[in-house]
Amino acid sequence: MAPISMRQLLDPAAGCAYGIPALNINNLEQIQAIMQAADETSSPVIMQGSAGARKYAGEGFLRHMVLAAAEQSPHIPVAIHQDHGGSPAVCQKSIRSGFTSVMMEGSLKEDMKRPAPYDYNIAVTRKVVELAHAVGVSVEGELGVLGSLETGIAGKEDGSGAEGKLPHDELLTDPEQAADFVKCTSVDAPAIAIGTSHGAYKFSRKPTGDILAIGRIKAIHERIPNTHLVMHGSPSVPQAWLEVIREFGGKMKETCGVPVEEIREGIRHGVRKVNIDTDIRLAMTGAMRRCLAQHPDDFDPRKPLKEAMLAAKAIGQQRFEQFGCAGQAGKIAPIALDTMAERYVRGELDPVVH
Ligand code: 13P
């Protein structure tokens, strides 16, 4: 089916209390792998293009490849989401090139390096909501800066991330401010800061509540129970793939990701979109390194790429199953973006915040 708005995926996810992995895409192999994983587990899927992906492949290519994948699996509901937009202009460009959902990262200034004042965040997010909802496209905002509670460092990764060391309170979303943010902007889903950051190096040890604030998710969900929450930086960093990368010449330091059980706890408390990029990158790199090392006389790049695809697909399948998303695709009836736009105008999709 044609890509639909992300809001159409998040509402049923809230109704049935499951989460949807939002998997980052950069190339044909990732898009095919993710779509096949969604198809084989009958899952709705969010494919998202980061600033780095849009620079690497171009928005048009990403969109056309997602359309081709969607044609192959017409019964799978898919949203194509622009990850981390630094300004309303960037979001507008993505909407124009056919993304059905956009993220306005207003917690950082337009350079995507320095934290922005709250009023700025409200103003730019509100602006994106106005232009996106007018054409039925959904909007993710961000409140609080993503970064490590262990080090205070955001960790720049794939085109976004604050620079320098940040104070603790900037790295945790405040529940009362989250309510105000949703009320003032009418955003469909805010991303919240709970101590996760992008990339493979998030936690130096298995995270406990002091460095991965799942309790903060609960507090935000209690304050805004009708709002879909988004968790960024949520790969689990499979140790087995780190081992494969090391075995075949890669240099990965000791590191820990977000345990699946913690993500599932988040899903029990309102998280509906779970952003994962690193797991697929690790699995693909491990699979390619192994394949190239085991077949040194082979020069056909399709072989390592095929192995990479299978590894990426397996990650996708696991996350669809683990987040309760598997088997849900058939329950989602697609709605055209124009109809979504009318619903926004009628106020039917307005946030319910008391
Ligand atoms: P990772 O890079 O940590 O997997 O996070 C992905 C993400 O949050 C994309 O916005």
Mutate to test the pocket of ligand 1, among 104, 276, 279 (most ligand atoms within 8 A of CB): 276
Counting residues of the chain whose pLDDT is more than 90, the rounded percentage is 92
| Ligand 1 geometric centre to CA of 81 (Å) | 13
User: Average pLDDT over the chain, rounded to whole?
Assistant: 96
| Ligand 1 and 8: CB distance under 6 A | no
222: burial class by Cβ within 10 Å (0-12, 13-18, 19+)? exposed
The whole-angstrom distance between residue 159's C-alpha and the CA centroid of its chain comes to: 14
Contact 217, 258 (CB under 8 A): no
Phi, psi (5° rounding) for residue 314? -65, -40
Query: What one-letter code names the amino acid at 232?
Result: H
Q: How many whole angstroms separate alpha carbon 280 and alpha carbon 235?
A: 9
Pick the closest to residue 188 from 344, 19, 24 (CA basis): 344
Q: How many whole angstroms separate alpha carbon 339 and alpha carbon 26?
A: 30
What is the token pair recorded at 330? 């058939």
Distances in Å between the Cα of 33 and the Cα atoms of 67, 230, 280 are 14, 23, 10
Catalytic-residue membership of 83: yes
**Is 90 exceeded by the pLDDT of residue 282?**
yes
Mean pLDDT of 69-74: 96
12: burial class by Cβ within 10 Å (0-12, 13-18, 19+)? middle
**Is 80 exceeded by the pLDDT of residue 160?**
no
**Is 80 exceeded by the pLDDT of residue 148?**
yes
What is the token pair recorded at 156? 């720049």
pLDDT band at 276 (very low <50, low <70, confident <90, very high): very high
Residue among 83, 188, 277, 279 flagged as catalytic? 83
Beta carbons within 10 angstroms of residue 231's beta carbon? 25
In 42-105, alpha helices (H): 51-57, 59-72, 88-96
pLDDT digit string, tens, across residues 261-273: 999 999 999 999 9
Phi, psi (5° rounding) for residue 77? -70, 130
Indicate the helix (H) or strand (E) that contains 31: helix 28-41
Mean pLDDT of 220-234: 98
Mutate to test the pocket of ligand 1, among 6, 20, 24 (most ligand atoms within 8 A of CB): 24
Q: Which is the closest atom of ligand 1 to the Cα of 276?
A: 4
- Residue listed under structure tokens 């995507």: 112
The pLDDT assigned to 159 comes to 61
Distances in Å between the Cα of 328 and the Cα atoms of 42, 149, 267 are 6, 35, 15
What is the token pair recorded at 291? 């394949």
pLDDT digit string, tens, across residues 315-350: 999 999 999 999 999 999 999 999 999 999 999 999
Contact 259, 206 (CB under 8 A): yes
Q: 203 pairs with which residues across the strands?
A: 256
The pLDDT assigned to 169 comes to 86
Q: How many whole angstroms separate alpha carbon 38 and alpha carbon 80?
A: 14
| Ligand 1 and 83: CB distance under 6 A | yes
**Is 80 exceeded by the pLDDT of residue 156?**
no
Q: What angle do CA 135, 101, 21 make, to 5 degrees?
A: 155
Q: Which is the closest atom of ligand 1 to the Cα of 196?
A: 3
191: burial class by Cβ within 10 Å (0-12, 13-18, 19+)? buried
Pick the closest to residue 56 from 92, 88, 83 (CA basis): 83
| Ligand 1 and 276: CB distance under 6 A | yes
| Ligand 1 geometric centre to CA of 199 (Å) | 6
DSSP secondary-structure letter at 35?
H
Q: How many whole angstroms separate alpha carbon 315 and alpha carbon 320?
A: 9
What is the token pair recorded at 104? 């306005």
151 vs 34, higher pLDDT = 34
